[in-house]
Amino acid sequence: MKYLKIMYNAFLWALVFAITCFKSEWLEMRVNIGYILFIAFGVLTVILTAYLRKKDLQLNFKFTIINIAICFIYGNFIYGFKRLQVVPASIIREGINMTRVPFSKINMILSIILILGLLLILLSDRKEYNN
């Protein structure tokens, strides 16, 4: 479950990085921001994995909830709530080169992944706490 926690938090940070890059019109016109999302996700996963081998940082449920809240507040500050409902789906859709898939489906899948991942982290923490 350690790697799930790493990947979950790395995905959140990569999404925030991609959303920030999406704000730059110059960059958006020249680079597929979806690729930036997936590259940042891979790089952050490797960095976090290497860092956590040396340090004892706990990516527990509390840390993840705080991380989600900070990422949401940041995204809301940059785009506003209405646009924040579309931009992540747009970035993901662009990154997987499936522009015909509606935003609603991508948002649904993204929501399921985020909620399911958070529940798995919660269950993992409870299991570790009970042992």
pLDDT digits (tens, 9 = 90+) for 25-60: 999 899 999 999 999 999 999 999 998 888 877 788
CA 86 to CA 81: how far, in whole Å? 9
| pLDDT reported for residue 54 | 83
Per-residue pLDDT tens listing for the chain (131 residues): 788 999 999 999 999 999 999 999 999 899 999 999 999 999 999 999 998 888 877 788 898 999 999 999 999 999 999 999 899 999 999 999 998 999 999 999 999 999 999 999 999 888 877 76
Collapsing DSSP to helix, strand or coil, 49 comes out as helix
State the pTM of this model. Answer: 0.89
C-beta separation of 120 from 60 below 8 A:
no
Per DSSP, helices labelled H in 1-131 are 2-22, 25-30, 33-54, 61-79, 81-84, 87-95, 103-130
Chain centroid, CA 78 distance in Å: 16
